[in-house]
């Protein structure tokens, strides 16, 4: 039997995480948890490996479902991150998530001492953004020796047509583009209007030049305090 890892949430992100973990079935004993049991079962079927279970993350019984699990990857809406972290502490398992949209991330960072005292790891934001963006920023800063500024832009085009497809939680996406954004400038965090600061950004082809604007994201909650500059 491999290391037991739980994926919490069987939406687009959770299903993808389950499929990635299933590639390591010899080392990973996969458990997929979702409020809708049939959705968890569908994720397991697509992954071709693992166990599915229905669980209500807001009902207070999450910790019991995580007992015996080595680590949990929370792929739930970011507003539930703190509740999942508390459950992970109670169950004694490591924790990872896909980001807390800045404000929740800052609250999560306050749990650092409790996780350290319990001998547990908590890694916040392990997706593409935040996640890969942070790694690339650190790589660039390390190669240069220090960072004077770090600008991040995320752009894409859909060559398959003009039908919009929601890439992840619609609620999170709406919050990103409607809540005030946070930027770190001149040594301080400050709030700016959502959608402000529009500039034309030259992405590599096939994306090309696209308008970029300020949106609320988690990177400013961590990068200014972890990268020398």
**3-123, which class in CATH?**
alpha beta
The pLDDT value given to residue 58: 62
**The whole model's pTM is what?**
0.93
The pLDDT value given to residue 113: 99
Beta strands in the chain (DSSP E): 3-8, 28-34, 51-54, 71-74, 94-97, 122-123, 181-185, 188-192, 199-202, 209-212
The pLDDT value given to residue 199: 97
Parts of the chain with a pLDDT under 50? none
The pLDDT value given to residue 158: 78
Extents of the domains making up the chain: 3-123, 139-226
Tens-place pLDDT, residues 5-59: 999 999 999 999 999 999 999 999 999 999 999 999 999 999 999 999 998 766 6
Question: Terminal CA-to-CA distance of the chain, rounded, Å?
Answer: 45
């Amino acid at each position: 039997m491999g290391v037991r890892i739980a994926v919490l949430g069987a939406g687009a992100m959770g299903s993808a995480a389950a499929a990635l973990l299933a590639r390591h079935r010899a080392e990973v004993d996969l458990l997929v948890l979702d409020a809708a049991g049939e959705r968890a079962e569908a994720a397991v079927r697509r992954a071709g490996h693992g166990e599915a279970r229905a669980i209500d993350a807001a009902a207070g019984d999450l910790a019991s479902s995580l007992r015996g699990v080595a680590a949990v990857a929370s792929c739930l809406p970011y507003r539930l991150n703190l509740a999942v972290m508390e459950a992970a502490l109670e169950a004694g398992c490591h924790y990872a998530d896909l980001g807390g949209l800045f404000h929740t991330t800052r609250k999560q960072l306050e749990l650092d001492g409790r996780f350290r005292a319990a001998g547990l790891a908590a890694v916040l934001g392990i997706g593409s953004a935040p996640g890969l963006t942070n790694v690339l920023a650190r790589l660039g800063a390390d190669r240069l020796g220090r960072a004077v500024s770090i600008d991040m832009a995320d752009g894409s085009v859909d060559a398959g047509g003009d039908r919009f497809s929601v890439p992840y939680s619609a609620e999170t996406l709406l919050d990103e583009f409607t809540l005030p954004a946070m930027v770190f400038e001149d040594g301080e965090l400050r709030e700016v209007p959502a959608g402000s600061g529009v500039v034309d950004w030259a992405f590599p082809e096939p994306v090309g030049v696209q308008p970029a604007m300020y949106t609320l994201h988690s990177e400013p909650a961590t990068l200014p305090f972890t990268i020398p500059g």
